[in-house]
Amino acid sequence: MEIGLVLLPLAAAVVAAVVPSQRVRPLVVPVAACLHLALFAAILAGGVSSGRGVWLRLDPLATVILGTVSVLFLLIAFYVPGYLELRPDRDNRVFCAVLLFFLAMTSLLALAQHLGLLWVAMEATTLATAPLLYFNRTARSLEATWKYLMIGSVGIAIALLGSLFLAYSAHLGGGEPSLLFEDLLAGAGAFSRPWLRAAFVLLLVGYGTKMGLAPLHTWKPDAYGEAPGLVGALLAGGMTNCAFLALLRVYRVVNAAGEGAFARELLVFMGLLSIGLAAVFVVRQRDIKRMLAYSSVEHVGILVLGIGLGGIGVFGALLHAINNGLTKGILFLAAGNIQRAYGSKSTDEISGAISRLPISGSLFLVGFFAITGSPPFGPFVSEFTIVNAAIGGGHPVAGTLFLVLLGVIFIGMGSTVLSAVQGRPGTSSAGTPYKDDLARTAPILVAAALVLFLGLYLPAPLVSLLERASAGLEALP
C-alpha cells in the first residue's frame, strides 16, 4: 500500500484544483495531510498490508525521512487556511494543488528504490516548488524563483550525469543492467572504482545543490527570503531531508563497494565547509528569513558531517534530520507571522516582537535556542551525539572546528534574533492590524512541543528505527 502515500495526495491535489470556492479549497490541504499521516502510521503499525514492492518500499531510511515530512506537512497544512485567509487578493487554486503535489513527490522520492525513479521524483519536487516560491508575485520573488530553477536544474542535471556514471560503473563490473538499489548493493563489490568515485562526486554535487550544501547554496537566501514562511518551512524541513535521503541511498552503494572511506572524507569536508560558510554569513544578518536560510546551510552541513564521521555520528545525523525539520517549522512559521505584523523582515524595522506578538515572538525565540543546539531541545541531543562521534571516533580537529563554528553561529544568530524580539515595537508595526490567533500559532506550538519532547525523551521505537536505519547505511555485503 506504499503507493497510496503517493496517490492520496495526488488525488487531493486534483480535488483542490477543481473545488470552486476560494474559502473551502484550503481546507482540502489539512484533510489530505491527516489522511496521509494516518496511512503512513497504519502501514508502520501493520494495520494496512505493505506491498513490499521492488520499486517503492517503506524501509527504515524512508520511514525516518517520510515520517518527518508527513508530520511537518501536517503542521503546515493546519497553518494554510489561516494564512490564505489573510491573502484574499491571491487566487489559491494553484497554491493548494501544488502543495499537495509536493507532498506526493516527496513521498515518491522517499519510497523510491530505483535510482532513476528517485531522480525523477527529485526533479518533480523542483517543478512543484517553483509556483510556491512565486506566490507573492513580486519582482524579488520572480528573481528568486528563476534563480532557484536555474541552479536547481544545473544540480539535477549533474545528478543525472552521476547516475549514468554509476550505471556505467556497474556495467563495467559485469553486473545486472539494473538501477534498483537492491541490485546495485548486491553487485557493488565488482563495480569499476574510478567510475564509482566519479559518480559519487557528481551525485554529491547534484543532490548537494538541492540540499543547499556550500558552495552550492546560492539559491537558498533568495528563495527562503522571498517565499511565504510556510513554503520556507517545507523547503528547509522537507526538501532538504529528501535530498539528504537521495545522497544516503548513493552513499550506501559506495560504502558497499568498499569506497566508504573516500565518501566519508568528502562528506566531512563538505559538512565543515557548509557550517563555516554559514557562520560567516549569519553574523550581522539583518534579514530574519535570510538568516534562517544560512541556518539551513549550517544544518545540512551538520547532516553530512554526521554521516562522514561514521559510527554513532550516523545515528546522530538521522536524528538531526528529524529535529532540524521540526525546528525549521517553528522558525519559518513564526518568522512569517512577524513579517506580516511588521510588513518587513529586516531588523531595521522589527523590534519588540514579543510585545507586539507575544506567542509568535516567544516561539521565534524558542526556535532560536532549539536550532542553535541549546538544551533541553531535540537538536541539542543530535548535535551532542555528532560531537561525541567526532571526539570519540578519532576526529578531534573536526570536532573542535564543529564546536567553535557552532559557538560563532549561536552568537551571530543571537544578535539578530534578540534585536528582533526585545525592546519596544517600532512605529512600522502600528500600521498593520495583524495579531496572533489560534489558527496561525497552534501549529507552531505543537512543533515546539515536539522538539522539546525529543530533547527530553527518545521513545524506544524511534531509537530502534534510527538504529536499524544507521545499521543499514553502515552495513557491508
pLDDT one-digit tens code per residue, 315-330: 999 999 999 999 999 9
Omega before 9 within 30 of 0, i.e. cis: no
User: Tell me, what's the pLDDT at 90?
Assistant: 84
Q: What cell does 282 get?
A: 549569519
Query: CA-to-CA distance for 47 and 43, rounded, in angstroms?
Result: 6
Q: What does pLDDT average to over the chain?
A: 92
Distances in Å between the Cα of 77 and the Cα atoms of 74, 105, 233, 302, 333 are: 5, 16, 11, 27, 12
Residue 477 has pLDDT above 60, yes or no: no
Query: CA-to-CA distance for 289 and 231, rounded, in angstroms?
Result: 12
Percentage of residues of the chain with pLDDT beyond 90: 81
Q: What is the mean pLDDT of residues 284-301?
A: 94
Model confidence band, residue 426 (pLDDT cutoffs 50, 70, 90): confident
User: Tell me, what's the pLDDT at 87?
Assistant: 87
Helices (H), 173-287: 181-187, 193-211, 220-226, 229-234, 240-256, 260-282
Percentage of residues of the chain with pLDDT beyond 70: 96
125, 106 Cβ separation under 8 angstroms: yes
The packing angle between helices 240-256 and 460-474, to 10°, is 50
Q: What is the mean pLDDT of residues 108-132?
A: 94
Residue 262 has pLDDT above 70, yes or no: yes
Q: Tell me which of 101 and 429 has the higher pLDDT.
A: 101
List all residues 6 or more positions away from 446 whose beta carbon is below 8 Å from its beta carbon.
75
Model confidence band, residue 175 (pLDDT cutoffs 50, 70, 90): low
Q: What cell does 432 get?
A: 498593520
Per-residue pLDDT tens digits for 200-230: 999 999 999 999 998 888 899 999 989 999 9
List all residues 6 or more positions away from 339 whose beta carbon is below 8 Å from its beta carbon.
229, 288, 289, 345
Tell me phi and psi for residue 56, to 5 degrees.
Answer: -125, 125
Model confidence band, residue 19 (pLDDT cutoffs 50, 70, 90): very high
Buried b (16+ CB within 10 A) or exposed e, 84-119: beeeeeeebebbbbbbbbbbbbbbbbbbbbbbebbb
Model confidence band, residue 125 (pLDDT cutoffs 50, 70, 90): very high
Q: Which residue bears the cell 528505527?
A: 465
User: Tell me, what's the pLDDT at 77?
Assistant: 97
Q: Which residues pair with 180 in a beta bridge?
A: 114
Residue 178 has pLDDT above 70, yes or no: yes
User: Tell me, what's the pLDDT at 336?
Assistant: 94
Per-residue pLDDT tens digits for 29-58: 999 999 999 999 999 988 666 656 688 999
Q: Running DSSP on this structure, what letter comes out for residue 284?
A: T
Give the residue among 296, 319, 304, 313 at the shortest CA–CA distance from 263. Answer: 304
Distances in Å between the Cα of 165 and the Cα atoms of 173, 190, 196, 203 are: 12, 15, 7, 9
User: Tell me, what's the pLDDT at 59?
Assistant: 92
336, 87 Cβ separation under 8 angstroms: no
User: Tell me, what's the pLDDT at 432?
Assistant: 77
Q: What cell does 351 get?
A: 523590534
List all residues 6 or more positions away from 87 whose beta carbon is below 8 Å from its beta carbon.
none
Q: What cell does 460 get?
A: 524506544
Give the residue among 29, 5, 24, 35 at the shortest CA–CA distance from 97. Answer: 29
Residue 467 has pLDDT above 60, yes or no: yes
Q: Which residues pair with 112 in a beta bridge?
A: 56
- DSSP per-residue string spanning 444-467: HHHHHHHHHHHHH---HHHHHHHH
Residue 357 has pLDDT above 90, yes or no: yes
Rounded to 5°, angle at Cα 307 from 304 and 312: 140
Residue 475 has pLDDT above 70, yes or no: no
